[in-house]
Amino acid sequence: MGTSGSFVFGPEGARNQASCVAQALGVPASSTSLAFVDACRALGVPRVAVAASYPDEVAQHFVGFLTGGGLEVVAMGSHGIFTAAEVGTLAADQVIAMVKAAGHPDAEAVLVPDAAMHSLEIVDDLEATIGKPVLTANQVTVWKGLDLLGPVPSLPSLGSLFSARGTYA
């Protein structure tokens, strides 16, 4: 399921989705959207900015999800892209520009909520560009999956999130 499929129904909807998956499979489960909130808590960053590739209406759902999860969204940029196929064609410099544009001075991290975006390999570049943590959909999904299994290993090439050790619930 894409990121938006786990936030359009709010935090309670995402928790219900994860709970149903966990019950059906008999293993712990989460979602990308829940992972964003958990990752922010793990890093101790309650104020965030959002760099969304989505159209404004969809991006606003993500902002509402984050707010419902206890985060303060101080800025949000949406880029009006409707399809995952188009998002997947964004070049690294375009993603960096989108994150840089969202880098509000009051935000302690910038969140990039589109799993179709090829951002995992440039997390360090994104963080270097804005000088603060950047959390991407694929990055937080991998982190949360590892977190559900036990202590998250340090993987420095995957940004600040993977520099913090231990489990965070």
Q: Compare 80 and 125 and report the one with higher pLDDT.
A: 125
User: Would you mind telling me the total number of residues written for the chain in this entry?
Assistant: 169
With cut-offs at 50, 70 and 90, classify the pLDDT of residue 4.
low
pLDDT tens figures, 122-143: 899 999 999 999 999 999 999 9
Can you give the three-state secondary structure of the chain, one letter per residue? CCHHHHCCCHHHHHHHHHHHHHHHHCCCCCCHHHHHHHHHHHHCCCEEEEEECCCHHHHHHHHHHHHHCCCEEEEEEECCCCCHHHHCCCCHHHHHHHHHHHCCCCCCEEEECCCCCCCHHHHHHHHHHHCCCEEEHHHHHHHHHHHHHCCECCCHHHCHHHHCCECCC
In the predicted model, what is the mean pLDDT of the chain?
Answer: 85
Asked if pLDDT for residue 27 goes beyond 70, the answer is yes
Q: What pLDDT is stored for residue 117 in this prediction?
A: 72
Q: Compare 93 and 71 and report the one with higher pLDDT.
A: 71
Query: What is the percentage of the chain residues whose pLDDT exceeds 90?
Result: 54
Q: What pLDDT is stored for residue 169 in this prediction?
A: 36
Tokens of 112: 């990039």
Asked if pLDDT for residue 167 goes beyond 50, the answer is no
pTM (2 decimals)? Answer: 0.87
Q: What pLDDT is stored for residue 57 in this prediction?
A: 85
Q: What pLDDT is stored for residue 25 in this prediction?
A: 94
Asked if pLDDT for residue 68 goes beyond 80, the answer is yes
Q: What is the rounded distance in angstroms from the CA atom of residue 63 to the CA atom of residue 81?
A: 17
pLDDT tens figures, 105-118: 999 999 998 777 78
